[in-house]
Amino acid sequence: MKPFILFGIVLALCINTVAYCDDSGLNDKGREEMHVQVNRDNGVPILMLNDKPMPVIGYRDHHPVVHMETTESFTKAGIKIHFLSISPAGRAYQGNGLYKLLDNNAESVLKKCPDTYFLILTSVDIKKASEPRWFNGKSDQLTIWPPNMREGDRVSMASKAWREEVKGDLRRLVEHVKNAPYANRVLGFFLSGGGGEWGDYWDYSKPAQQGFIEWLNVKYGDDVQLLKKKWNDPNITFEAVAIPAWKELSSADDGIFYDPGKNRRIIDYLLYHHQLAADTAIDFCKVIKEESDNKKLTGLWNGYMFLPEWWQDGDAANNIIANRRVKMFSRILESPYVDFVTAPYSYQERHSGGCFVSQIPLDSIVLHGKLALVEDDTRTHLSTSHSAYLSCQKYGDDFGKASNEDESIAVLKRNFAGVLTKPGSGIYYFGLGDDGNKWFDSPAILNTVGSFKEIAGNTLAKDKNASNIAVIVSYRSFLYQKINDLSRDFLLNQMYHNLTVVGAPFDTYLDSDLNDKKFPFDKYKMYIFLNSFYLPDAERQLIREKVCRSGNTVVWIYASGFIDEESAQVGNISSLTGINVAKYEGKLTRLNCVVNNYTHDITKGLPTNTRFGCERTMEPVFWVDDPDAQILGELSCTTNEDWIRTFRKPGLCVKRFKSWTSIWSGIPNLPSSLLRNMAKSAGVHIYSEGDDQVFASQKVFSIHARYDGVRKISFPKKTNIYDPFSKRYVARNVDKVEEFMKKGDTLIWMLE
Q: Rounded to whole angstroms, how far apart are CA atoms 265 and 231? A: 6
The answer to whether 483 and 316 are in contact (CB under 8 A) is: yes
Distance CA 306, CA 436 (A): 24
Q: Is the distance from CB of 515 to CB of 539 less than 8 angstroms? A: yes
315-370: pLDDT as tens digits: 777 777 888 899 999 999 999 999 999 999 999 899 999 999 999 999 999 999 99
What Å distances lie between residue 626 and 56, 543, 653, CA to CA? 54, 21, 9
Give the DSSP H or E segment for 393: helix 390-395
Q: Write b or e for each residue in 394-405: b if 16 or more Cβ atoms lie within 10 A of its Cβ, otherwise e.
A: eeebbbbbbeeb
pLDDT at 407: 97
Of 121, 62, 82, 72, give the one whose Cα is nearest residue 435. Answer: 62
Q: Taking a C-beta distance cutoff of 8 angstroms, is the pair 40, 13 a contact? A: no
Amino acid identity of residue 725, one-letter, is: F
Decide if pLDDT at 24 tops 70.
Answer: no
Residue 33 has pLDDT above 80, yes or no: no
pLDDT of residue 56: 63
Taking the C-alpha atoms of residue 364 and residue 475, their distance in angstroms, rounded to an integer, is 12
* First CA to last CA distance, the chain: 19
Helix and strand element counts for the chain (H, E)? 16, 31
Compute φ and ψ for 71, nearest 5 degrees.
-60, -45
Confidence of residue 96 (pLDDT cuts 50, 70, 90): low
Cα–Cα distance, 385 to 238 (Å, whole number): 52
What per-residue confidence (pLDDT) applies to 10? 33
Residue type, 424: G
Find, among 325, 311, 309, 321, the residue nearest to 201 by Cα.
325
Handedness of CA 396, 397, 400, 403 (dihedral sign): negative
Residues whose CB falls within 8 Å of the CB of residue 193, separated by 6 or more in sequence, listed in order: 123, 124, 125, 200, 280, 281, 284, 300
Select from 201, 272, 209 the least CA-distant residue to 241: 209
Poorest-pLDDT segment among 218-222, 639-643, 711-715, 722-726: 639-643
Looking at every residue in the chain, the average pLDDT score rounds to 90
Sequence-distant (≥ 6) Cβ neighbours of residue 190 within 8 angstroms = 83, 119, 120, 121, 122, 299, 300, 342
Which of 341, 242, 331, 360 lies closest to 298 in space, CA to CA?
A: 341
Query: Please, are residues 657 and 578 in contact by the beta-carbon 8 Å criterion?
Result: yes
Query: What is the chain's Cα-based Rg?
Result: 26
**Can you tell me the mean pLDDT for 613-642?**
93
| Distance (Å, whole) CA 372 – CA 6 | 9
Query: Are the CB atoms for 85 and 124 separated by under 8 Å?
Result: no
Edge-to-edge order in the sheet of strand 46-49: 36-39, 46-49, 52-53
Percent of the chain with pLDDT over 70: 91
Reported as a single tens digit per residue, the pLDDT across 579-595 is 999 999 889 999 999 99
pLDDT in tens, 709-749: 999 999 999 999 999 999 999 999 999 999 999 999 999 99
pLDDT band of 393, cuts 50, 70, 90: low
**Range name among 306-310, 339-343, 688-692 with the lowest pLDDT average:** 306-310
Residue 720's region, left for phi above 0, alpha for psi from -120 to 50, else beta, is beta
pLDDT, tens only, 435-468: 767 899 899 999 999 999 888 776 555 778 999 9
Element (H, E) at 414: helix 405-420
> Which tens digits make up the pLDDT trace of 143-202?
999 999 999 999 999 999 999 999 999 999 999 999 999 999 999 999 998 878 888 889
Contact 607, 676 (CB under 8 A): no
Q: Is the pLDDT reported for residue 675 higher than 80?
A: yes
Q: Are 485 and 257 in contact (CB under 8 A)?
A: no
Read off the DSSP letter of residue 521.
G
DSSP secondary-structure letter at 247? G
Nearest to 708 by CA among 680, 672, 738, 745: 745
pLDDT of residue 492: 87
Indicate whether 26 pLDDT > 60.
Answer: no
Is the pLDDT at 34 greater than 60? The verdict is yes
3-state DSSP assignment of residue 160? helix
Identity of the amino acid at 337: Y
Can you give the length of the chain in residues? 752
Q: Which residues contact 180 (CB under 8 A, 6 or more apart)?
A: 103, 106, 186
Q: Give the pLDDT band (50/70/90) at residue 28.
A: very low
- The helix/strand/coil state of 35 is coil
Distance CA 681, CA 186 (A): 50
